[in-house]
């Protein structure tokens, strides 16, 4: 009859190959453990907690390290993409009626609340087109856009540090694009990665291109008719873009018609003849139209740099916290490891003392020192094993609680504690971190923890068991 604990604890009695020392010792160990119920319960709970710390803390730290790594990658990718985008548009001056065109992410999700949309006359485009620089024609082209929120709103629950609340934001944004050949051919005004159907083309009217995340909202796909501001439009295609939120592209004249904003635009992309003219042209536009938010290549570059600085700061804050958490975790684990062994050590030492007489009897009956030692080792290991199982149970339930209780709080935005922004900002979504993750209980982890617990318990019971084996039988038999 094979005893599973023999393999686990690595004991092997050379002189007793087919004997039942371990079966008997195992049975006695179980009986001894179960007959002192209160003590066993207390010990197992204590062991359970220290083992739960071993389970919960490292996995929490690892999970968050991984999260931070992927965030750093995200940041770098985003910055690189934006950098490329900006570099392509050295001759572009953006004039918008709403601020922060450069930080799309912030505009979505609505933590700025609803955007107060304003518009300017189309004629502004003609005026800008005629700006001269040192007597020469400064502007090559002006591309008008009309961006307007949908009439319909969708509700969304937002988690803030002060609780959850519901906000309403537009279901989508209409982008009216000038669909003439020069514009389409020379400037990137339409999305490029079409997933279904076709892109809008020159002179299209009554057609829309919708972001693929809107197909569900409209319950429509390519070829279907959808209603926008009460007017029917045929979906010509869908497009996919990570940075593009829910958007409907259409001809600018259609957009002006359906929204009732005849002759109005919300954004003008001004292309200067030469990149060196950009600053001067921008100054003129700013002076003439103070209601426009004007950004040149230079401004966008600076914006990007500011963003990059902020990202870097955030990341380094997060990394600092993780490093600190790692250090704390190491200390905690050392304490937990020591505690596990020490608990078993003291319990077994007490048990040996209490059972001195029994040791004497066993020796008088012909038990060898090794038999006695393995009896107590087995018992200690078994307690550790039960403690390990309890630890896994406690750890799997209370891992996040342990992590947040014992580790420094993740702090992405500097300052002393917590976040300054509501947690559910798009920015925090990008960051993807709200709290320490729970431990994922894989079979490997369970096996590792049980093995660890048994090993630590075996180490803890080594000395008490050795002491038991050294007890003189006569002394022990005299002991009451």
Partner 1 sequence: MSELVLETEKIEKIYRLGGRSIRAISDVNLKVKRGDFVSIMGPSGSGKTTLLNILGCLDRPTHGKVILDGVDVTAVPEKELYKIRRYKVGFIFQTFNLLPYLSAIENVELPMEGTGKSKGEMRERARELLKLVGLAEREDHKPLRLSAGEQQRVAIARALANKPSIVLADEPTGNLDAKTKYEIVKLLGKLNVEQGTTIVMVTHDSAIASHARRVLFLSDGKLLAKEKMGLLAKEKLVCPSCGREIGADHAFCPYCGRKIE
Interaction of residue 13 with partner 1, rule CB under 8 A: yes
Nearer to partner 1, 35 or 417 (CB): 35
Nearer to partner 1, 21 or 125 (CB): 21
CB of 370 to partner 1, least distance (A): 9
Pairing of strands 231-239, 207-211: parallel
Q: In 439-457, which positions are buried (b, 16+ CB within 10 angstroms) versus exposed (e)?
A: bebeeebbeebbebbbbbb
CB of 40 to partner 1, least distance (A): 13
Task: State the CB neighbour count (10 A cutoff) for residue 307.
Answer: 18
CA–CA separation, 176 and 254 (whole Å): 7
Nearer to partner 1, 24 or 414 (CB): 24
Interaction of residue 20 with partner 1, rule CB under 8 A: yes
Nearer to partner 1, 23 or 301 (CB): 23
Interaction of residue 474 with partner 1, rule CB under 8 A: yes
Interaction of residue 101 with partner 1, rule CB under 8 A: no
> Which of residues 245, 303, 473, 479 is near partner 1 by CB under 8 A?
473
CB of 5 to partner 1, least distance (A): 15
CB of 474 to partner 1, least distance (A): 5
Instruction: Pick the stretch among 19-27, 72-80, 312-320, 459-467 that binds partner 1 (CB under 8 A).
Output: 19-27
> Which of residues 7, 12, 24, 201 is near partner 1 by CB under 8 A?
24
Nearer to partner 1, 108 or 368 (CB): 368
Instruction: Pick the stretch among 24-32, 49-57, 168-176, 198-206 that binds partner 1 (CB under 8 A).
Output: 24-32
Cα 146 to chain centroid, rounded: 36
Interaction of residue 17 with partner 1, rule CB under 8 A: yes
CA–CA separation, 454 and 166 (whole Å): 51
Q: Which is nearest to 17 in space by CA: 27, 2, 30?
A: 2
CA–CA separation, 204 and 235 (whole Å): 12
CB of 471 to partner 1, least distance (A): 12
Is residue 155 within 8 A of residue 168, CB to CB? The reply is: yes
Instruction: Pick the stretch among 12-20, 145-153, 198-206, 380-388 that binds partner 1 (CB under 8 A).
Output: 12-20
CB of 383 to partner 1, least distance (A): 16
Is residue 281 within 8 A of residue 139, CB to CB? The reply is: yes
CA–CA separation, 411 and 321 (whole Å): 6
Interaction of residue 18 with partner 1, rule CB under 8 A: yes
Q: Which is nearest to 99 in space by CA: 263, 306, 308, 299?
A: 299
CB of 384 to partner 1, least distance (A): 21
CB of 39 to partner 1, least distance (A): 14
> Which of residues 5, 6, 25, 51 is near partner 1 by CB under 8 A?
25
Instruction: Pick the stretch among 62-70, 221-229, 266-274, 469-477 that binds partner 1 (CB under 8 A).
Output: 469-477
Nearer to partner 1, 373 or 398 (CB): 373
CB of 36 to partner 1, least distance (A): 10
How many residues touch partner 1 under the rule CB under 8 A: the total is 33
Is residue 144 within 8 A of residue 122, CB to CB? The reply is: yes
Q: Which is nearest to 96 in space by CA: 123, 130, 120?
A: 120
Pairing of strands 163-170, 153-160: antiparallel
Instruction: Pick the stretch among 115-123, 286-294, 339-347, 472-480 that binds partner 1 (CB under 8 A).
Output: 472-480
Backbone torsions φ then ψ of 157, nearest 5 degrees:
-85, 135
Name residues contacting partner 1, limited to 347-376 (CB under 8 A).
357-358, 360-369, 371
Nearer to partner 1, 23 or 234 (CB): 23
> Which of residues 115, 149, 477, 479 is near partner 1 by CB under 8 A?
477
**Token pair of 385 as six digits:** 């094993």
**Token pair of 132 as six digits:** 């001269």
- Map residues 177-216 to x or -, x wherever contact with partner 1 holds by CB under 8 A: ----------------------------------------
CA–CA separation, 309 and 79 (whole Å): 11
**How far is residue 402 from each of residues 71, 183, 349, 407, measured CA to CA in Å?**
24, 59, 30, 8
- Helix axes 369-406 and 21-35, enclosed angle (nearest 10): 50
Dihedral (CA of 393, 394, 395, 397) sign: positive
Nearer to partner 1, 10 or 24 (CB): 24
> Which of residues 21, 52, 95, 268 is near partner 1 by CB under 8 A?
21
CA–CA separation, 342 and 452 (whole Å): 14
285: which residues sit within 8 A by CB, 6+ positions away?
93, 95, 128, 131, 270, 292, 294
**Binding residues for partner 1, per CB under 8 A?**
1, 13, 15-21, 23-25, 27-28, 31-32, 35, 357-358, 360-369, 371, 473-474, 477
């Amino acid at each position: 009859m094979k005893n599973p604990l023999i393999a686990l604890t690595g004991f092997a009695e050379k002189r007793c190959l087919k004997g039942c020392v371990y079966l008997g010792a195992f049975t006695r160990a179980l009986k001894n453990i179960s007959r002192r119920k209160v003590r066993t319960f207390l010990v197992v709970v204590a062991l359970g907690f220290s083992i739960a710390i071993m389970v919960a803390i490292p996995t929490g730290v690892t999970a968050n390290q991984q999260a931070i790594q992927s965030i750093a990658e995200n940041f770098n990718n985003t910055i690189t993409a934006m950098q490329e985008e900006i570099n392509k548009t050295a001759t572009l001056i953006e004039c918008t009626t709403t601020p922060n065109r450069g930080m799309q992410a912030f505009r979505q999700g609505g933590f700025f609340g609803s955007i107060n949309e304003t518009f300017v006359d189309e004629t502004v485009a003609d005026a800008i087109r005629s700006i001269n620089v040192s007597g020469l024609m400064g502007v090559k082209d002006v591309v008008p856009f009309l961006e307007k929120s949908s009439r319909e709103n969708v509700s969304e629950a937002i988690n803030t540090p002060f609780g959850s609340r519901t906000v309403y934001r537009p279901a989508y944004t209409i982008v009216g694009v000038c669909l003439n050949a020069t514009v389409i051919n020379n400037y990137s005004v339409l999305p490029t990665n079409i997933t279904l159907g076709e892109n809008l083309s020159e002179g299209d009217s009554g057609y829309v291109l919708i972001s693929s995340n809107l197909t569900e909202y409209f319950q429509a796909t390519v070829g279907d008719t959808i209603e926008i501001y009460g007017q029917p439009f045929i979906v010509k295609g869908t497009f996919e873009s990570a940075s593009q939120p829910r958007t409907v592209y259409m001809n600018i004249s259609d957009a002006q018609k359906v929204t009732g904003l005849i002759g109005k635009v919300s954004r003008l992309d001004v292309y200067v003849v030469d990149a060196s003219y950009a600053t001067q042209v921008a100054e003129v536009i700013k002076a003439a139209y103070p209601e426009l938010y004007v950004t040149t290549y230079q401004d966008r570059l600076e914006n990007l740099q500011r963003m990059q600085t902020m990202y870097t700061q955030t990341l380094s804050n997060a990394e600092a916290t993780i490093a600190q958490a790692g250090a704390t975790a190491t200390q905690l684990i050392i304490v937990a490891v020591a505690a596990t062994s020490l608990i078993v050590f003291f319990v077994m030492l007490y048990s040996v003392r209490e059972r001195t007489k029994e040791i004497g009897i066993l020796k008088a009956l012909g038990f060898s020192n090794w038999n006695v030692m393995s009896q107590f080792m087995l018992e200690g290991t078994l307690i550790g094993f039960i403690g390990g199982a309890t630890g896994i149970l406690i750890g799997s339930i209370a891992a996040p609680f342990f992590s947040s209780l014992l580790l420094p709080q993740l702090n992405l935005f500097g300052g002393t504690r917590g976040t300054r922004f509501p947690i559910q900002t798009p920015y925090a979504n990008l960051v993807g971190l709200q709290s320490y993750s729970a431990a994922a209980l894989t079979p490997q982890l369970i096996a590792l923890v049980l093995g660890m617990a048994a090993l630590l318990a075996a180490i803890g019971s080594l000395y008490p068991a050795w002491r038991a084996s050294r007890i003189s039988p006569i002394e022990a038999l005299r002991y009451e």
